[in-house]
Structure 1
Amino acid sequence: MSLSPRLDLRQAQSLVMTPQLQQAIKLLQMSNVDLSAFVEQELERNPLLERNERADFEAPPERAEMRPDADASVVVDRGAGEDADGPSPLDQDYNTDRDDAGAGDMTAPPGGEESLGLGMGSWGGGGARDFGEDARSLEDTLSRPESLREHLGAQMAVDLADPVDRLIGTHLMGHLDPCGYLAVSVEEVAATLGAPPERVEAVLARMQALDPPGLFARSLRECLALQLADRNRLDPAMEALLDNLEMLGRRDLPGLMKVCGVDAEDLREMIAEIRALDPKPALRFEGEPVHTVVPDVLMRPNPEGGWLIELNSDTLPRVLINRRYLARVRPAASGDKAVRAFLGEQVQNANWLVKALDQRATTIIKVAAEIIRQQDAFLEHGVQHLRPLILRDVAGVIGMHESTVSRVTSNKYIATPRGLFELKYFFTQAINSSAGGEAHSAEAVRARIKALIDAEPPKGVLSDDRIVTILRGEGVDIARRTVAKYRESMRIPSSVQRRREKLEAAGR
């Protein structure tokens, strides 16, 4: 056997994660809010992209028609006779140009072609053309509520005259958590600022006296005590109650009466005072604004049977490539190699974005349609009929990878006749049937446990063992620890605590 160098030609296939492919995967798992923000950035960065806001350019939304008795295939109606089984959206030729004369047409500015530039400012429609009128939007003129820092700062400027005390107070303010509790100890603040712990403690006491009462507490007990002291209701009996909040959580009323030295009527009044306090006093100031969840997918009953599913066009940013603008700037850039390279890159990026958005929309509707097909019984009859479903069940039918289905169902919502649900809601674990029949969905079993507990009488509270017996009689093979886990996940107390609460409510 001889050894000698030689050249071989071989063919091999490999998946190359190009930057565009990585970005397409990120687009797939973005929520509609994140996607809109990403498209806004691309519109600012790419001078060849233009938002499609005209009705005559609005493409019909992707749509799917599902019938319970249909086969496993998902037909996606894209408004032009195409279906989901055709070529991949990235392989199709879409008309992404904007080359019309009309409201969206651009005319050259008085300075000529050189003044066009590549920025968005030359596209017009940007606001006031002189300084004689207010070009601010309505949102810029609206007032905003006072923040907690502003509220405390105004009080601190009056109550703390010493600059050192103000510095300590400002440092303490910076360590408030969102609920208004102090997240550091006095010793840590003293070590950081190089101040005596006694002085930090004194400033903390003065900060705790600011409005609203309960701020700068280091525990729930201290937060409630500060509010009771502000109301002049912190007597020895109330302090004993605050020292035994865990007994109050267990509804151990006889034990609390013994510890506090009061009768049942006084204890009932003390508990009512505790319930009137605010355990999170800072949330009224700097709570995050509530964002309305906008569904990505809409569905409605089909008059011919089944369901009609379509994407919400309000959450789909649509962009076009303005070929007219490209034709105007390309001749001026013919002599500059760097500018030509820049324009070529921007054209490529614009084409990719348009096709990636279309592929994202098609993939979402395919996954949503298959989920609805498999969970048709839930939509018809309620949560008790929710089927066990895993990612593999959907991915195998539509011919996609499980990771793709997982990304599609993340942060995506669907509006159904039974309410607004995240797509991941429909994926639940399976619980075996005690009779050997079809498995039960974990979510359906959880809903059944809650229904049993809500219907129990005060003198007939169901224990976990009793719930297991009832469920096994209904064909659900479930263990006691599983019932306890589901009950705790729904924040339902134990049978002992529920019995106390129900008897107390019945005796009022």
Structure 2
Amino acid sequence: MSISQRLDLRQSQNLVMTPQLQQAIKLLQLSSMDLAAFVETELEQNPMLERDEGPAAGREEGPRSTEDDRPAIDAGKADSADLLSPDAMPGASADSPLDTDYANTYDGDIAGPGMMEGGDYRPGSTGPDFAKGGYDEDLPGLEATLSREKTLTEHLEEQLQVELDGPRERLIGRHLIDALDDNGRLAEPLEDIAERLGCPLTDVETVLASVQKFDPPGIFARSLQECLRLQLEDRNRFDPAMAALLDNLELLARQEVSKLLRLCGVDAEDLAEMVAEIRALNPRPAADYGFEPAQPVVPDVLVRVGPDGDWLVELNQDSLPKVLVNERYYARVAGSARDKSDKEFIAERFHTANWLVKSLQQRATTILKVSTEIVRQQSAFLHHGVSHLKPLILRDIAEAIEMHESTVSRVTSNKYMATPRGLFELKYFFTTAIAGMDGDTHSAESVRHRIKTLIDAEPADAILSDDKLVEMLNAEGVDIARRTVAKYREAMRIPSSVQRRRQKKAAFQTK
């Protein structure tokens, strides 16, 4: 066998992931908030992009139109802001009823310094004294003067300055505040705090005993039991029976009434009152401080019923970023560029801007196409509810709209649809199928909903076991195993039949 060298030509096809293609794929799976942040960054970095805020947005200002050239505004359809705009207001003409009856002039009796009769301003005169409360355009806006809720750290530091006198105690107290977690409990051992500050452990314990009396009650606790004890002491309701109950919270969680009655030394009525007091306490005393307001989910797709009863699917225009390519600015700077590097930079920015605008349009078109097909296949759910949710996988949508399954997966990630039945993530409509007795299939989500409905309706003297739930579902045509019922029940955080029976028969259950 001889070894030799030769030159061959081969032709093959492969997909090259260009930066533009990678950007288009990235935009497809971004949420509306992430997309808005990405577009804002591009607007800052690319001078060829401009925000589309209306017909006149980003346009170079041309000659001002005269009064006769102002567009006519229909008063019956125009917005109040349009009717009050400078272009819509009548000019200072002799026959203008506005200027005749409601002249925008100052009366000579109320004119301020420098103001002349008729509203004119005398040049060189002294205007309003801004230092003494006069008008000033640089004053903060209304949003800058709005009040805000006090954080937990600020609330505790105010009490620290009042309750503790010495600088040593205040320093230890400040470190204890920094050691709190989101629940208001100490997340660091006292030994570590004492070692870091170089002070005796007894000093830290003394300061801890003082700050544990701060508001809100239960703050600076090191465990759940201590948090509840501090709140009971604040209410003057901590006694030996309550101490025994706090030492056996695991029995309370398992609702072992007989053991609790024996350990606490009380009767059933007293135990019920003690449990009611425990339930009225707050295990997270810091939850009401320093929280960030929840951001509402902005739907990407809106679904409503049309005049003929069909479902109308449309994109939420408020969630779509609106950007344009400023071709006029590109033509001006490209014509004045002389260096090769400048021309290359301008051409690259212009190409990037064009690609971004096209990618955004393609993203919107793809989302609308996928959402329309989802609504078509889940029409029964929109009409009748979750019990009619159809089993659906990504491949079903991909084959129907002739797209790749990965594209559908990216489109349905972090996207939401507002329907008459509520706000749902697009992923919600994709569920696995469960076989039926008669050959039909059932959605796993609808089966979970049916299990929860049956358990919610069970009487206290006839708790449904998992085997009984299987029998009832089989009678309804759902072929499901017992372990699947148990898995769905645990996923919905529903206790077992033994725990539910114990809960509903507990003598101290709140009435």
- Residues 317-364 of structure 1: per-residue CA shift (max 9 Å, x gap): 1101112222333333x2233332322222122111101111111111
Change (3 A) 1:2 1:506: closer
Partner of 1:335: 338
- Residues 36-77 of structure 1: per-residue CA shift (max 9 Å, x gap): 1211121122222111121x5xxxxxxxxxxxxxxxxxxxxx
Mapped partners of 1:17, 1:194: distance in 2: 58
Aligned ranges 1:420-459 → 2 under 5 Å: 420-433=423-436, 435-459=437-461
Mapped partners of 1:374, 1:425: distance in 2: 13
Aligned residue among 408, 411, 428 for 2:414:
411
Does 1:177 find its partner at 2:131? no
- Residues 460-481 of structure 1: per-residue CA shift (max 9 Å, x gap): 2212221121111112222223
Mapped partners of 1:256, 1:455: distance in 2: 30
Partner of 2:119: none
Change (3 A) 1:341 1:159: farther
Mapped partners of 1:411, 1:179: distance in 2: 29
Aligned residue among 99, 105, 116 for 2:59:
105
Does the 8 A contact of 2:271 with 2:508 survive in 1?
Answer: no
Does 1:480 find its partner at 2:485? no
Does the 8 A contact of 2:51 with 2:57 survive in 1?
Answer: no
Does the 8 A contact of 1:221 with 1:242 survive in 2?
Answer: yes
Partner of 1:203: 207
Mapped partners of 2:299, 2:141: distance in 1: 27
Aligned residue among 384, 398, 401 for 2:401:
398
Residue 16 of structure 2 aligns to which amino acid in structure 1? V
For CA contacts below 8 A with separation 6 or more, give which structure has more relative contact order. Answer: 1
Report the secondary structure of 1:284's partner residue. coil
Change (3 A) 1:261 1:299: same
Residue 202 of structure 1 aligns to which amino acid in structure 2? T
Partner of 1:36: 36
- Residues 177-235 of structure 1: per-residue CA shift (max 9 Å, x gap): 22222222223333444443333333333332221121222222221111111212111
Does the 8 A contact of 1:379 with 1:418 survive in 2?
Answer: yes
Report the secondary structure of 1:286's partner residue. coil
- Greater Rg by CA: 2
Change (3 A) 1:19 1:229: farther
Change (3 A) 1:274 1:506: closer
Partner of 1:235: 239
Partner of 1:153: 157
Partner of 2:51: 51
Report the secondary structure of 1:414's partner residue. strand
Mapped partners of 1:103, 1:490: distance in 2: 51
- Residues 139-161 of structure 1: per-residue CA shift (max 9 Å, x gap): 33322111111111212223333
Change (3 A) 1:18 1:149: farther
Does the 8 A contact of 1:178 with 1:287 survive in 2?
Answer: no
Report the secondary structure of 2:260's partner residue. helix
Does the 8 A contact of 1:178 with 1:286 survive in 2?
Answer: no
Partner of 2:290: 286
Change (3 A) 1:481 1:4: closer
- Residues 460-507 of structure 1: per-residue CA shift (max 9 Å, x gap): 221222112111111222222322222222222232333344345999
Change (3 A) 1:471 1:106: same
Does the 8 A contact of 1:464 with 1:483 survive in 2?
Answer: yes
Identity of aligned residues (%): 64
Report the secondary structure of 2:480's partner residue. coil
Does the 8 A contact of 1:310 with 1:365 survive in 2?
Answer: yes
Change (3 A) 1:498 1:295: same
Structure 2: runs of 5+ lacking an equivalent: 63-134
Change (3 A) 1:302 1:252: same
User: CA shift at 1:426, angstroms?
Assistant: 1.0
Using the size of structure 1 for normalisation, the TM-score is 0.80
Mapped partners of 2:252, 2:190: distance in 1: 29
Structure 1: runs of 5+ lacking an equivalent: 57-101, 109-130
Report the secondary structure of 1:410's partner residue. coil
Mapped partners of 1:103, 1:439: distance in 2: 54
Mapped partners of 2:478, 2:459: distance in 1: 23
Change (3 A) 1:14 1:165: farther
Equivalent pairs, count: 439
User: CA shift at 1:302, angstroms?
Assistant: 3.3
Does the 8 A contact of 1:155 with 1:210 survive in 2?
Answer: yes
User: CA shift at 1:10, angstroms?
Assistant: 2.5
Does 1:18 find its partner at 2:13? no
Residue 335 of structure 2 aligns to which amino acid in structure 1? P
**CA RMSD in angstroms, aligned pairs only:** 2.5
Report the secondary structure of 2:331's partner residue. helix
Partner of 1:303: 307
User: CA shift at 1:33, angstroms?
Assistant: 1.3
Mapped partners of 2:141, 2:400: distance in 1: 49
